Amino acid sequence: MSLALAACASAPVARVDARGAAAADQALKMVGKPYRYGGSTPAKGFDCSGLVQYSFRQAGVALPRDTEQQRRATAGIRVSSLRRGDLVFFNEGWRRNSHVGIYLGSGKFVHAPSSGGHVRTESLDSPYWKKHLSEARRV
């Protein structure tokens, strides 16, 4: 009986992990799409939180639209515990947690950078992103 309970208890976690990985896969399909402030579709382009919302929606998970609401809707984790599909937040300029991306694994993340850019993957170990990483969160 305890084996059956343990299996049931772990099923929701596996489902959430699978959805995070599916969201990461969706975001990777958007690499090369243009950055557009307020954008949240492949046709119009993406800003950072629009990419996150779109990618998770495609994976069956509803997330709020803006970066701060996404931060509040997720659980804080240690950066050392990052898994594929977790969110990584960055401080840009004077704004705390103003940029978000989706962790891919192996120290990489996907995001929609600033104006004039395109959705792309980058390394958390690059000097810029390492300096600006503020927190990691799990959906």
Q: 8, 48, 118, 132: which is the annotated catalytic residue?
A: 48
* Rounded CA separation 56/54 (Å): 6
Active site residue 99: yes
Active site residue 48: yes
* Rounded CA separation 118/127 (Å): 20
CA pseudo-torsion sign 99, 104, 36, 66: negative
Asked if residues 122 and 109 have their Cβ atoms less than 8 Å apart, the reply is yes
What amino acid positions are annotated as catalytic residues? 48, 99, 111
